[in-house]
Structure 1
Amino acid sequence: MSKTIHTWKRISLVEENVKLPTGNSITHTTIVHPGAAVILPITADNRIIMINQFRPSLKKWLLELPAGTIENQESPLVCAQRELEEETGYSSDTFISLGQFTPLAGFCDEIQHLFIAKQLSKTSRYSCDDDEVIDVITLSVEEIEQKIINGEITDSKTIACLSKAKLCKYL
């Protein structure tokens, strides 16, 4: 049995009875999320396009990779293509999948799909959602790593995507 407690945009808070592998049953509350795409845009000179975005939940700016929630029944790749253009004003026909990331498994079912975007083209389209305040910046991998070390970049999806790209030898 499950009960939707609250819905906002495409996200719901759902309470349900869950049987654990031990045989015990519990009532568990989950944030049900349609998933997201995270994009690591790499320029021709090997710089990374990032966004500095004001996050109302934290009431502060976060330096992060472009990303967004999957809409309707779009694929993660289509979401990545759309979000890259909406948030940065760049497009690409070359996307490389880096797999998936589960950022909040203790209370959320969101899966983030990680992508590298290469062979970028500047577009005239730059359209943020009403609740998005974004500045676009370009940094070297070394500058990003130093900002992670210094605590200037704390966004988990950014750190995970960059780490996966490095481990897979794309950076």
Structure 2
Amino acid sequence: MNRIIHQWKKTIALTEQEMVLPNGKSITHTTIAHPGAAVIIPITAENKIVMVYQYRPSLRKWMLEVPAGTMELGENPLTCAARELEEETGYSAEELTALGQLTPMAGMCDEIQHLFIAKGLHKTARYECDEDEIIEVRCYSLSELKTMVINGEISDSKTIACLYKAKLCGYLD
């Protein structure tokens, strides 16, 4: 039985359920139920990476991150990636390539983050952001981003993991 303790934005919920672990032990487990997210590395024709400088109310500070967003219920990850890219950065992409998945908080949340590389970018009009989103769009070279990760200026885990995965897969030189 799954019991909703609290729900946020109609898509994310704190739930509690009875379950039996692989060792046979019965427990009551609390999970954040999340529909998943798309995480995008947009690469310009000049080989710059489009980033978002976003105020994060939970942390009460600005964070430099790759664009990302929560999937709507039943939404395809590719559709979400295209929508979030345009909403957050004002770019559309001719090419969105899947890069794999991340499980950001496996101990407490069922979220899966779907990673994408976006190329063939075209400037469009940015959509209106969500009420809690304050975003500035910025572009950086990979070298600049590496320095910012090393110096602690970028601490967002999905950003660091996605950049590293893209580098290992040969998308970033």
Shift of residue 135, structure 1, vs aligned partner? 0.4
Code of the aligned partner of 1:131:
D
Shift of residue 133, structure 1, vs aligned partner? 0.2
- Taking only the aligned residue pairs, the percentage that are identical comes to 65
Number of equivalenced pairs: 171
Matched position secondary structure for 2:40: strand
- 2:135 match: 134
Code of the aligned partner of 1:23:
G
1:96-144 CA distance string (max 9 Å, x none): 1001100000000000000000010001233211110000000000110
Q: In structure 2, how many angstroms separate the alpha carbons of the residues matched to 1:137 and 1:143?
A: 12
Is the aligned partner of 1:104 residue 2:110?
no
Is the aligned partner of 1:121 residue 2:88?
no
Shift of residue 163, structure 1, vs aligned partner? 0.6
Preserved contact between residue 88 and residue 126 of structure 2 (Cα < 8 Å): no
- 2:71 match: 70
- 1:4 match: 4
- 2:60 match: 59
Code of the aligned partner of 1:89:
G
Code of the aligned partner of 1:137:
R
Shift of residue 72, structure 1, vs aligned partner? 2.8
Shift of residue 22, structure 1, vs aligned partner? 0.8
Code of the aligned partner of 2:166:
A
Q: Which runs of 5+ in 2 are unaligned?
A: none
Matched position secondary structure for 1:135: strand
Is the aligned partner of 1:154 residue 2:158?
no
Q: In structure 2, how many angstroms separate the alpha carbons of the residues matched to 1:12 and 1:126?
A: 26
Shift of residue 93, structure 1, vs aligned partner? 2.0
Q: Which runs of 5+ in 1 are unaligned?
A: none
- 1:32 match: 33
CA RMSD of aligned residues (A): 0.8
Trace 1:10-49 onto structure 2 (pairs within 5 A).
Answer: 10-49=11-50
